[in-house]
Structure 1
Amino acid sequence: MLNRKEPSSFWCLFALVAGLFCSPIYALDDADYLPKSVTYAPDIATPKSVLGSAVGEWHVRHDQLVQYMQLLASQSPRMQIKEIGRTHENRPMLHLYVSSPENLSRLESIREQHLQNWQQSKGQISKQMPAVVWMGFSIHGDEPSGANSSLLLAYYLAAAQGQEIDSLLQNTVIILEPSLNPDGLARFAQWANMHKGKNLVSDPNHREHLQGWPSARTNHYWFDLNRDWLLLTHPESQARIEEYHRWRPHVLTDYHEMGSNSTYFFQPGVPSRTNPWTPVENLRLTTEFAKFFANDFDKVKRSYFTEEGYDDFYYGKGSSYPDAHGSIGILFEQASSRGHVQDTINGQLTFPRTIENQLMMSLATLRGAQVLRPQLLEFQSKFNTDAAKLAQADELAGYLVTESADKARLNKMLDKLSAHQIHYYPVNKSLEVDDVQFTAEHSYFIPLEQPQYRLLKSLFSNRKRFNDNTFYDVSNWNIALAYNITYRGIERSRWRKVSYFEASSQKKKANASVVNENAVAHAFSWQDSNAPTLLQMLLNRGVKVRIAAAPFNAISQLGDSPMLPGSAVIQAGDKQPENYLNIVKELADELGIRIWSISTGLTTEGIDLGSRNVQLVEMPKVMILGGRGMSQYEAGELWHYFDQQLQLPVSIVEWSDLESISLEDYTHIFMVNGRYKQLSASATQKVGDWLQNGGTLIGQQNAAKWFSKQEWLATTFVDDEAIDNAFDVTGYSYADKDKLEANKLIAGAVYETETDMTHPLLFGFGEQAKKLPMFKSSNLIMRKPAKPFLTVASYSTNPLMAGYSADEMQKLVANSAAIVAHKKGNGRVIAILDRSNFRGYWQGTNRLLSNAIYMSQFIDVEAK
């Protein structure tokens, strides 16, 4: 049984005198965590009185967290509660607003005045305004100490009595978000609690400390929500960012956990890895807050570290997104018990201790915000003024973007800009820039002179060189490259040639389709990225659809209409459902896709509608192979794309079940990065036989390499030794070893590929896809097959478009294969080396996934 070591009387006396904490190694009561320098109102419910056990004895479920926060809001005049959104699993996302009763009575006017202060220039701010502190907990569901500590923090703020708390509430508006990832938190609480025994087990090998697949770090679709603040793929992030821009807090705290053998980290992080658009004053204020954190930990002799291991380069995290907006984002990382208690190199680490540390840092943050309030107000008021000066000094006036064939993809990018409060304007006069035609109908101008200047520069960055080339996360997230949207920076000397409507953030609407009931067929182009969705929705409703593998000119209601390869054809003679025309029009209008009504099967040019090249689409039955050892992130990206965007139900099957199930009914199997050595010989043979008999096998990253080893894929890969040999280590010292390993990685950069636009996997891609940006996050290098027609895309001679990659890696990757596809027996094998739906953000390549499903039947080149 766990030995509950009580603290010595000396430390209890010290804590009481210092007004800090006096908790045993395993909490006996909520009071063990709380400051002793105040009294607590008896009419405010403690967490234990509601949950039935002290905080930390069990992992709190999200529904319990919601219940307690709602109760506190009903009991305390210091609190208001708001539901800001719902998760994928329909769990409520709560914000608890905490301040003095007087402040809460005029909360909306405080918010409005605060935003006015943010917009004012230096010297015009109201210095009596409270500091706004947003405290968000446990965006990774299996890092629960933050969310559990929010119970105690909320109780303290509701129940503490005395001048100390009154002063804090008078000078602060606190936005408390008890769980940033409700679905993940619920999943982990269930896991940890279901494995807890009467006698706690601290063995790190105990099942409690080793989650199943997928882990509760992620949300419902297995995405890391801490990477989604900028990308906004999920409803949790979308609701959060909308609320963030309603408030623009002065401080935003972000509570995490790290490896069990660590201590405690708080920012500042590695100075050389700060985003260059983050103001220097932000770093200074972050350092000022660190003094409060260090002071409290020093008093109780607890270990911590700063300026090591973590960075603030990628603007898509909870601790870095605020830095682009005049807020101070602060990251906390607590060593994780990953359960109730775990043995570590520092001794036993208990769940209550992790909770107590997070609570201590929360209260230190609030004290820091109160003391630093004048500086925070001043910094935020100058933020916009400084951004305006930077914009006026910039050699660029803004960016022009255009996309004529795929309005859905362009509109998705514009929606993303709007969500981040970035303004864009429809162009009303066509112009040419650098041999690119920006037509009025399809183009927009995004000026740099707007409050989001810093974020805009980051979103359109193509930087390739950095002071520090080691990245904790991705080194580029250029939004135009991610969406494969043509863009050009407009120099300030030329911007007056850009004519645009003054109405900001207005998108051009698609016209509704007119469907002719007497037509022999109806067709729609494959160029719009919503076309695969329309196809699948039609299949789901029983409508029979064919795909044309070759171009043709049809006679439609619009005259002679050219249709490109990949166009979908709905023939009246295919025994369609009775009301199929209503279905077609309804769905097409919903997705903004034009329908052509074709009057005759005889075309004016190209194949006729009865050609063998116009093939019926089979209802796909798709499997994603998952399980321990497979990338939950990549599997989640596929699942999310198919389920949310494509409306295609998919089966997620654990690799360990392959031997016991029939593969006969599956048309496609997707495999992601993973450890494929764990598959048995019989399971591997089973997949190989299924492929030979007509299945389509698609692999990303390491799965493609495994295909090659099985001799299913007609190419080979560059080995690790060749990568090692590419680096000259002459003169390297021991201190350079980490730098060398970092240079061998491609952590997240944009690479240019040259594509075969005639290949079925590229059907529907616009002309700009001849040079297709792909997001590369591994150093895998796939050689081009010797036989022609197998390489769908290859990296260009100078492939790096944006982000960091070592010169040695660029040379190795140059002219190698990015996508290879061919027949294998009666089936097809497709290798896509990069993550084509990276974090749900890389919209410019994710339709490779849908083409791998609907166009694979047209891949007819064998590799021998």
Structure 2
Amino acid sequence: MTRFLFSLILLFSLTLSAQQLKSPSEFLGYELGTEFTRHHEVVDYYEYLAKAAPDRVKLTVYGQTNERRPLILAYVSSAENISNLEGIRLEHLKETKGEGTSDKAIVWLSYNVHGNESVSTEASMKTIYELLTSKSSYLENTVVIMDPCINPDGRDRYSNWYNQYKNTPNQVDPNSKEHHEGWWGGRSNHYMFDLNRDWAWLTQVESQQRLKMYNQWMPHVHVDFHEQGVNNPYYFAPAAEPYHEVITDFQRDFQVTLGRNHAKYFDANGWFYFTKEVFDLLYPSYGDTYPIYNGAIGMTYEQGGGGRAGLGIITANGDTLTLKDRIAHHYTTGISTVEVSSKNAEKLNEEFKKFYKNQNFKYKSYVLKGDEDKLKSLKSLLEKHQIQYGDLASGSYKGHEYATGKSGSMSVNGNGMVVSTNQPKGTLVTVLFEPNAKLSDSLTYDITAWSLPYAYGLDAIASSTLVAPQSAKENMVSTSVEKGTYAYLTDWNSIEDAKFLATLIKEGVRVRKANLPFKMEGKSFDRGTLIITKSDNEHKADYVEILHTTAQKFQKNLTPVSTGFVDAGKDFGSSYVQMITKPKIAVLSGEPTSTLRFGEIWHFFEQQLHYPITVLDGDYAKRVDLGEYNILILPDGRYGSYFNESQLADLKDWVRQGGKIIAMGGAIDAIDGDKGFGIKKKEMEKDSGETQPKPYEDWEREGIKSAITGAIFKTKVDNTNPLAYGYGKDYFTLKLGSSSYDYLQGGSAVYLEKDAKPFSGFAGSEAQKQISGSLVFGTEGVGRGQVIYMVDNPLFRGFWENGKLFFANALFMVE
């Protein structure tokens, strides 16, 4: 066959294919880029393609969102590859063991993780259509996996809002309403979480369901499509420093290869772009870094636009940026990515295999011990990531000691666990467990510390030797109850204990707490011990059954006692043994709170603690009678003058009558010492020494001296304070900024000592001075009520597990 004839047949085939398949515009009934497509319409188009071209498109629903929208994946490839899709997958996965003979490139394209960065889902429809028609030659040796919308709830929130408020025709004036979303924009998911920060922590249902699919494929290349400010040109790889030190030379180099190919097309069109700035590769929970730590070429692509851009907007340069423009740019980098991957399929397979074969890390094992509930919680996370771990029964282990930040040893007596880097997920283990990530540059896009032993509140050793697991002795849990028992006792050490308590309270079971340690019947019990007596629950005929069922559900050991007379400490009738008040909780939302910080609280109550709250919007909250509630939570935010003098006086009167305020982050400034309560901002000592003016180009690096980019600090804990029940004498806090407050006399539950230094992560020299000798968590008694101050965020992104008990203590233990 002549080359001319072959080309003619190929052209005819492509033309016929294009005629058989409807383009997005033809299917939707409007030109792509002139409307925002709602999620169900996007799903309809993908379903249409799967029916029209079943030999080249396979569609699967991998889950659903909190608002019941489907999460879908489309597998796109040649007919031959689709017919052997499972075989290709299995052969590819052999490479994670350093084996296999796969010759196919696996490319995963993820769209719309941020709902109001809405162009990418539109671009995905153009991309899949062109892959099936004009660009089908790339699919001969490539499987493209497309997730057209990671965050359907956020995307529809934005699309519906925009369709409701836009002008007809759309208005490009940036002052128009259609360019200004309200407090709850479309960026986040249902619980206001940023799904692009959740890849490693898996707190959200979208992330959990997606990762199951990701682990089934482990692609060679993963792209996360985003948008940034309307005035920014396009961003694509290579990324900015810092690169994590585990990133391989090939991963670095291939980003450059891809970037040069993108640039070729952008140059031809006269489009502006930038590389090697802003978006680094360090924090492990992004859609670019998480795939990188699993062997892929992970990248973020950023188009100017986002929620402000709408269908079109005038930029600062006076140009008009349209949705069609944005689609064209994302389509171009998406297709370019597939093109380069197809041309380099052999190299991608070769290097992917090397990634898993040539692992050699400083620390070979991470040995952990601590509260059993915390160990279980960590094991649950590791299982979701398919990270292998083993149990440890006993032994002494040497290495880097997390508690001191120095070389030391740790004994395991009883239940412990070990996580080794000698496994396919060894690189990911290193990144998640390393005591302190190495920074090649202090200017980063996100937090610089996250080590799981600190996050989960576990004692740990990082060992340079390989530690073999042992069979640990299984703990026997006693949950049996009998009607004649005087009382049942159980400990208070973890968020699982808080869930147990919350369930009992919801069921109407009355529970007391011990405010002092005590001994009885040969056992010692600490502060916070829960005491459930027969006498308190005589009103509840089925209290024994409820207690038994709840203890089984949460695997809580119950110690039955036959008397309220203790051997040492305070008897059960003492004023030091208080009834826990049933919380009636209101949470402020809307302006002036942060959506992300409110969302963390909302998710904590509904998906973790499973305890009801009333959400009060800032627009009307000040008109609500707080007498109906005994707890008011003020999330972090920018309060400014939200409360006037009269409202602050009313708030203080409510606290005096027995109310409880939990003020978090920026909310503290709304009620601080200048506004009527006792907490005071810490005064920064002024440096009297003269300094030389700094060059203009150094201003950013000078500014970093006053910043803390998510660093871990060791704090002191007063665990006689009810806010700190269940904790030891130390706590590792994740500090996200340099806001600081003076100690509270008698109420400093958690605090930084003078000249505290970060154990992990970056904190600027001036910021360290600012927070030296400052409060972290504290309590202030006001009349019969309490104000609880949380300078740091114990619920940050839902992953700082060891902080959650402080929040539970604020609800249940502080009276």
- TM-score by length of structure 2 reads 0.93
| Structure 1 SS opposite 2:280 | coil
Aligned partners of 2:664 and 2:789 also within 8 Å: yes
Aligned partners of 1:261 and 1:345 also within 8 Å: yes
Q: Which amino acid aligns with 1:634?
A: R
Aligned partners of 1:659 and 1:683 also within 8 Å: yes
Cα distance change, pair 726–466 in 1 and its aligned pair in 2 (3 A): farther
| Structure 2 SS opposite 1:844 | helix
State which of 367, 387, 402 in structure 2 corresponds to 1:422. 387
| Structure 2 SS opposite 1:211 | coil
Cα distance change, pair 728–525 in 1 and its aligned pair in 2 (3 A): farther
Cα distance change, pair 711–508 in 1 and its aligned pair in 2 (3 A): farther
- State yes or no: 1:323 paired with 2:292: yes
Cα distance change, pair 245–729 in 1 and its aligned pair in 2 (3 A): farther
CA apart distance, 1:509:
6.3
State which of 19, 39, 52 in structure 2 corresponds to 1:42. 19
Between the aligned partners of 1:728 and 1:800, the Cα distance in structure 2 is 27
Q: 2:188 aligns to what?
A: 218
- Write the mapping of 1:159-558 to structure 2, written as runs, cut at 5 A: 160=133, 164-165=135-136, 167-270=137-240, 272-336=241-305, 338-346=309-317, 347-387=319-359, 390-391=360-361, 394=362, 396-403=363-370, 406-431=371-396, 433=398, 438-463=411-436, 466-492=439-465, 498=467, 500-501=469-470, 511-555=477-521
Aligned partners of 1:622 and 1:651 also within 8 Å: yes
CA apart distance, 1:133:
0.3
Q: Which amino acid aligns with 1:338?
A: A
| Structure 1 SS opposite 2:769 | helix
State which of 635, 643, 648 in structure 2 corresponds to 1:684. 648
Cα distance change, pair 678–708 in 1 and its aligned pair in 2 (3 A): closer
Aligned partners of 2:715 and 2:732 also within 8 Å: yes
| Structure 1 SS opposite 2:110 | strand
| Structure 2 SS opposite 1:273 | strand
- After superposition, the C-alpha distances for 1:149-192 in whole angstroms (9 at most, x for unaligned) are 1122222234x16xx51x32211101100111111111111111
Cα distance change, pair 795–483 in 1 and its aligned pair in 2 (3 A): same
Between the aligned partners of 2:194 and 2:474, the Cα distance in structure 1 is 33
CA apart distance, 1:728:
7.4
Aligned partners of 1:513 and 1:594 also within 8 Å: yes
Between the aligned partners of 1:249 and 1:92, the Cα distance in structure 2 is 22
Q: Which has the larger displacement, 447-456 or 253-262?
A: 447-456
Q: 2:627 aligns to what?
A: 664
Q: 1:119 aligns to what?
A: 97
Q: Which amino acid aligns with 1:422?
A: I
Between the aligned partners of 2:79 and 2:458, the Cα distance in structure 1 is 50
CA apart distance, 1:263:
1.4
Cα distance change, pair 527–659 in 1 and its aligned pair in 2 (3 A): closer
Q: Which has the larger displacement, 68-77 or 216-225?
A: 68-77
**Which ranges in structure 2 are unaligned for 5 or more consecutive residues?**
1-12, 402-407
**Which ranges in structure 1 are unaligned for 5 or more consecutive residues?**
1-35, 858-864
Q: 1:715 aligns to what?
A: 679
Between the aligned partners of 2:598 and 2:169, the Cα distance in structure 1 is 36
Between the aligned partners of 1:663 and 1:113, the Cα distance in structure 2 is 62
- After superposition, the C-alpha distances for 1:514-535 in whole angstroms (9 at most, x for unaligned) are 2122102222211232111111
Cα distance change, pair 513–256 in 1 and its aligned pair in 2 (3 A): same
Q: 1:135 aligns to what?
A: 109
Between the aligned partners of 2:29 and 2:542, the Cα distance in structure 1 is 58
Identity over aligned pairs, percent: 28
- State yes or no: 1:581 paired with 2:581: no
Aligned partners of 1:139 and 1:226 also within 8 Å: yes
State which of 755, 773, 781 in structure 1 corresponds to 2:740. 781
- State yes or no: 1:793 paired with 2:735: no
Q: Which amino acid aligns with 1:760?
A: P
- State yes or no: 1:816 paired with 2:782: no
Cα distance change, pair 436–696 in 1 and its aligned pair in 2 (3 A): farther
Between the aligned partners of 1:436 and 1:539, the Cα distance in structure 2 is 42
Between the aligned partners of 1:229 and 1:674, the Cα distance in structure 2 is 25
CA apart distance, 1:795:
0.9
- State yes or no: 1:745 paired with 2:703: no
CA apart distance, 1:548:
2.0
Q: Which amino acid aligns with 1:573?
A: S
Between the aligned partners of 2:512 and 2:717, the Cα distance in structure 1 is 25
Q: Which has the larger displacement, 565-574 or 747-756?
A: 565-574
- After superposition, the C-alpha distances for 1:224-261 in whole angstroms (9 at most, x for unaligned) are 11011111111111122222121110100110000011
Between the aligned partners of 2:664 and 2:564, the Cα distance in structure 1 is 40
CA apart distance, 1:729:
4.9
Between the aligned partners of 1:726 and 1:108, the Cα distance in structure 2 is 70
Cα distance change, pair 683–210 in 1 and its aligned pair in 2 (3 A): farther
Between the aligned partners of 2:614 and 2:648, the Cα distance in structure 1 is 19
Aligned partners of 1:133 and 1:173 also within 8 Å: yes
Between the aligned partners of 2:340 and 2:186, the Cα distance in structure 1 is 32
Aligned partners of 1:469 and 1:743 also within 8 Å: no
Between the aligned partners of 2:420 and 2:473, the Cα distance in structure 1 is 16
Cα distance change, pair 152–318 in 1 and its aligned pair in 2 (3 A): same
| Structure 2 SS opposite 1:429 | strand
Between the aligned partners of 1:437 and 1:284, the Cα distance in structure 2 is 41
Between the aligned partners of 1:410 and 1:695, the Cα distance in structure 2 is 35
Q: Which has the larger displacement, 683-692 or 201-210?
A: 683-692
- State yes or no: 1:837 paired with 2:795: yes
Aligned partners of 1:78 and 1:100 also within 8 Å: yes
Between the aligned partners of 2:490 and 2:475, the Cα distance in structure 1 is 18
Q: Which amino acid aligns with 1:398?
A: S
State which of 61, 64, 68 in structure 2 corresponds to 1:90. 68
| Structure 2 SS opposite 1:349 | strand
Between the aligned partners of 1:264 and 1:185, the Cα distance in structure 2 is 21
CA apart distance, 1:138:
0.9
Cα distance change, pair 352–689 in 1 and its aligned pair in 2 (3 A): farther
- Write the mapping of 1:592-741 to structure 2, written as runs, cut at 5 A: 592-681=555-644, 682-718=646-682, 722=684, 725=687, 729-730=691-692, 732-741=694-703
| Structure 1 SS opposite 2:20 | coil
Aligned partners of 1:136 and 1:252 also within 8 Å: yes
Cα distance change, pair 72–724 in 1 and its aligned pair in 2 (3 A): farther
Q: 1:99 aligns to what?
A: 77
Between the aligned partners of 1:185 and 1:438, the Cα distance in structure 2 is 50
Cα distance change, pair 313–523 in 1 and its aligned pair in 2 (3 A): same
- After superposition, the C-alpha distances for 1:295-343 in whole angstroms (9 at most, x for unaligned) are 1111111111111121111111001111111100121100115322212
Between the aligned partners of 2:690 and 2:452, the Cα distance in structure 1 is 35
| Structure 2 SS opposite 1:846 | helix
CA apart distance, 1:367:
0.9
Between the aligned partners of 2:614 and 2:636, the Cα distance in structure 1 is 18
- After superposition, the C-alpha distances for 1:744-774 in whole angstroms (9 at most, x for unaligned) are 1112111111010111011122x3xx11001
Between the aligned partners of 1:528 and 1:260, the Cα distance in structure 2 is 45
Q: Which amino acid aligns with 1:154?
A: I
Aligned partners of 2:250 and 2:351 also within 8 Å: yes
Cα distance change, pair 724–117 in 1 and its aligned pair in 2 (3 A): farther
Between the aligned partners of 2:687 and 2:184, the Cα distance in structure 1 is 36
Cα distance change, pair 585–244 in 1 and its aligned pair in 2 (3 A): same
Q: 1:756 aligns to what?
A: 718
Q: Which amino acid aligns with 1:144?
A: S
